[in-house]
Amino acid sequence: MNNGSGRTAVIVGGASGIGWASAQALARQDCHVTIADLNADGAAERAAELGPGHSAAAVDVTDEDSVQRLFDGVGPLDIAVNCAGFSNVGLITEMPAADFRAVIDVCLNGAFIVTKHAGRHLRPGGSLVQISSLNGRQPAAGMSAYCAAKAGLSMLTQVAALEMGPRGIRVNAVAPGFVHTPLTAAAASVPGVVEDYVDNTALGRAGTPEDIAEAVVYLCSPGSSWLTGEVLDINGGAHLKRYPDVMGHVMRLMEPST
């Protein structure tokens, strides 16, 4: 079934990982996709891969003027997907405040700015999807900034759904567990981290960007037309178990060898 019907979509953070998988999935649904990314060259390369009818744009979600230019340039919009984000690791008592703010600025403040300007251009029947995280509901030692940002993003999603609902616009979020992407590559390189994630996932495997993209397509489709304000867990059942000891694995890696 074709759910796109020639609709216009913007994927923020669409040059890699979940954003790129979502861009491909929406393009297959006959959406006209704009891939927007801090990596302007990467966005242009990805748009070229999608082919004619698709485009690219540079955007910095921490710069409101940049986000406004993006959405003003696209114009009337049917779908917006916000995948921008990053994380760091550090204990609260040792983390520089600037490092905490940097994550909040991209993952929460940036999400607010994208929501604000996408919301101004979304047509009735439009859909806005945020990429949240399992860390929005499960705390992880050493990940205070990311956990706080994603928990805030869940509430931002619900408030936006309330405010935009009267215009017929739906706002939802997808909360992935561990997915192999450029964002998680550093964590995955730490011995024991991936195994710990998988051991604490009911379905016994890490996710793929395509797993999340399928959920994004659903949330943008007519099949979810009565669904808004939802944070959809796509994590293989990881929320049913404990969160992996990522900080413990990192600290063991940093211990001097004897």
Contact 108, 149 (CB under 8 A): yes
Going by C-beta distance under 8 Å and a sequence separation of 6 or more, which residues neighbour residue 252?
A: 191, 192
Q: Which two structure tokens, joined as six digits, stand for 63?
A: 């710069």
Q: Give, as one character, the DSSP assignment of residue 257.
A: P
Question: What CA dihedral angle connects 200, 203, 208 and 214, to 10 degrees?
Answer: -130
Q: Distance (Å, rounded) from C-alpha 118 to C-alpha 129?
A: 11
Q: Calculate Rg over the CA atoms of the chain.
A: 18
Q: Give, as one character, the DSSP assignment of residue 221.
A: S
- Tally Cβ neighbours within 10 Å of residue 209: 21
- Tally Cβ neighbours within 10 Å of residue 21: 23
Give the type of residue at 166: P
Q: Is 146 a catalytic residue?
A: yes
Beta strands 231-234; 170-176: pairing state: parallel
Question: What CA dihedral angle connects 225, 229, 235 and 240, to 10 degrees?
Answer: -120
> Where are the alpha helices (H) located in 122-242, listed in sequence order?
144-164, 185-188, 193-199, 209-219
Q: Out of 146, 197, 218, 243, which one is annotated catalytic?
A: 146
Question: Which are the catalytic amino acids?
Answer: 146
